[in-house]
Amino acid sequence: DIQMTQSPSSLSASVGDNVTITCRASQSMGDFLNWYQHRPGKAPELLIRGASSLHSGVPSRFSGSGAGTDFTLTISSLQPEDFAIYYCQQSFTTPPTFGRGTRLEIK
Amino acid sequence: QVQLVESGGDVVQPGRSLRLSCAASGFTLSWHGMHWIRQAPGKGLEWVAVIWHDGSKTDYADSVKGRFTISRDTSKNTLDLQINSLRVDDTAVYYCARDGQEGRPPYWFFDLWGRGTLVTVSS
């Protein structure tokens, strides 16, 4: 199975800040990398698919980049609703696997 | 409204069985591959099972193979997960999720999730 390593595991930031979360895969996987947001008590939501394609309805302050083994999720100008847990997930091989998550907290 | 709503979670003893259900609304479940994904307390997300969009194939994580069965009822637009021989390490929130590709075999990313249902296995 492909192992996905996310960093940092937690992050404190303020409204208006820019933040970057990284995800590293244990083997090269093209751009088969997806990002999700999970707010407490809510359903997880797809943010980005294929490393950089913004899912329908997702604000443009979210962006993704990377290919091969190294990927990043960037959130520009944090909004209050962005404080949540973020997960990366590979869809290159089965079984699909997730990173352990990055908890984004308000400073 | 396009949504998924899980139900059936409970507190059960090891070795018992449980059936989870996921009701889809706002879209036709049989147009998409459908998945179950779980998250144990303090752990990450773990993919559990998939059923192909046309119902022709299913697949499971090695950790649940032989104990879990995924199925669907197209007349009710529901997805089910039958869990047998429950173990303590099956304790988790179980999410159903829609595959992001319509009308084709799974693309293995998830564009719609439910809020989950909690299964607790304890004696």
By the CB < 8 Å criterion, does A45 face chain B? yes
- For residue A95, the chain B residues in CB contact (below 8 A) are 47, 61-62
> Residue A81, SS3?
helix
DSSP letter (8 states) at residue B38: E
- The pLDDT tens digits for B52-80 are 999 999 999 999 999 999 999 999 999 99
Q: Cα(B35)–Cα(B80) distance, rounded to whole angstroms?
A: 10
> Which of A49, A85, A88 to probe by mutation at the B interface, max B CB count within 10 Å?
A49
Question: pLDDT averaged over chain B?
Answer: 97
For an interface test with B, which of A1, A10, A98 has the most B Cβ atoms less than 10 Å from its Cβ? A98
Q: Which helix (H) or strand (E) holds A97?
A: strand A97-98
Question: Which pLDDT score is estimated for A15?
Answer: 96
Nearest to B108 among A41, A45, A91 (CB): A91
Question: Which whole number is the average pLDDT over B3-27?
Answer: 98
How many Cα atoms sit within 13 Å of A19 on the Cβ side? 23
Strands (E) located in chain B? 3-7, 11-12, 18-25, 32-39, 45-51, 58-60, 68-73, 78-83, 92-102, 110-113, 117-121
Q: In chain A, which residues have pLDDT < 50?
A: none
Counting Cβ atoms within 10 Å, is residue A9 exposed (0-12), middle (13-18) or buried (19+)?
Answer: exposed
Q: Does B33 touch chain A (CB under 8 A)?
A: no
pLDDT at B110: 98
| Residues listed for chain A | 107
pLDDT band at B4 (very low <50, low <70, confident <90, very high): very high
Per-residue pLDDT band at B103 (split at 50, 70, 90): confident
- pLDDT of B86 strictly over 90: yes
